[in-house]
């Protein structure tokens, strides 16, 4: 995030993503914020696109929020990816999983705090950040439902989560999993049917 990096460098870097490089950087990430700065440009486009797809209104600084998100995401990615990251598509799959996990972790943490199990609400700001409690409960219920769908068919669950948590489009999911859009549509239809059944008495509507 040094201020004097020319914009052109960043574009070049994005154009030349080398998957091996991502992995190597990942390994060194923890101790070194400068490296982290180098990483951001590498995935900048992905994240920008991701942010757009999610329709997450970034409420201000794309750079900063995305940066924080990437930071968190990569730390989680390291956990997921004991393996090397093979391709950009692979990265996307991992990113989708990480985002799902971010949301679920957050819901769990907030709910625990709200139910008084955790007195760590040190600032007033926390209460402003929290999503409505019923949303949090719902996110966790959906998570359980997806886990059951995963038992039936793991791809079904992945397609569903990519669509729900990360807001990926049908085309994007198809590319990411190397399946046709038609298959994605079929999967999504079934997955959502299962989800509704699983949530039937959670959401009587």
22 CA to centre of own chain: 17
Beta carbon nearer to other proteins, 84 or 200: 200
Residue 70: closest CA among 33, 44, 108, 103: 44
The answer to whether 67 and 40 have CB atoms below 8 angstroms apart is yes
Q: Which is nearer to other proteins, 99 or 176 (CB)?
A: 99
Q: What is the DSSP string of 146-203?
A: HHHHHHH-HHHHHHHHHHHTS---HHHHHHHHT--HHHHHHHHHHHHHHHHHHTTTTS
* Cα four-point dihedral sign 84, 88, 89, 92: positive
Q: How far is the CB of 82 from other proteins (least distance, A)?
A: 23
Distance CA 15, CA 34 (A): 20
- Nearest to other proteins of 38, 106 (CB atom): 106
User: Of the candidates 26, 44, 67, 184, which one interacts with other proteins according to CB under 8 A?
Assistant: 67
Residue among 190, 150, 158 nearest 174 (CA): 158
The one among 27, 68, 120, 171 contacting other proteins by CB under 8 A: 68
CB closer to other proteins, 63 vs 175 = 63
Q: Of 167, 156, 164, 147, which Cα lies nearest the Cα of 189?
A: 156
Q: Which stretch binds other proteins (CB under 8 A): 11-19, 22-30, 84-92, 102-110?
A: 102-110
Q: Which stretch binds other proteins (CB under 8 A): 23-31, 56-64, 77-85, 86-94?
A: 56-64
Span of 21-29, 64-72, 79-87, 89-97 interacting with other proteins by CB under 8 A: 64-72
In the region spanning residues 117 to 156, those forming contacts with other proteins, defined by CB under 8 A, are 123-125, 128-132, 135-136, 138-139, 141-142, 144, 148, 151-153, 156
Residues that bind other proteins (CB under 8 A): 1-5, 33-34, 54-65, 67-69, 71-72, 99, 102-103, 105-107, 110, 123-125, 128-132, 135-136, 138-139, 141-142, 144, 148, 151-153, 156, 164-165, 167, 186, 189-190, 192-197, 200-203
């Amino acid at each position: 995030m040094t201020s004097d990096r020319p914009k052109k460098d960043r574009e070049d870097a994005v154009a030349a993503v080398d998957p091996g490089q991502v992995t190597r950087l990942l390994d060194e990430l923890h101790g070194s914020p400068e490296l982290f700065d180098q990483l951001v440009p590498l995935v900048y486009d992905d994240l920008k696109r991701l942010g757009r797809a999610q329709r997450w209104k970034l409420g201000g600084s794309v750079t900063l929020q995305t940066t924080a998100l990437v930071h968190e995401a990569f730390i989680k990615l390291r956990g997921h990816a004991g393996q090397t990251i093979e391709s950009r598509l692979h990265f996307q799959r991992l990113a989708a999983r990480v985002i799902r996990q971010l949301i679920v972790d957050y819901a769990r943490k907030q709910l625990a705090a709200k139910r008084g199990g955790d007195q760590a609400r040190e600032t007033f700001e926390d209460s402003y950040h929290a999503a409505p409690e019923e949303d949090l409960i719902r996110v966790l219920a959906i998570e359980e439902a997806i886990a059951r769908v995963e038992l039936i068919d793991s791809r079904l669950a992945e397609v569903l989560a990519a669509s729900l948590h990360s807001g990926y489009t049908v085309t994007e999911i198809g590319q990411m999993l190397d399946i046709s859009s038609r298959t994605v549509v079929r999967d999504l239809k079934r997955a959502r049917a299962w989800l509704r059944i699983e949530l039937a008495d959670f959401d009587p509507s």
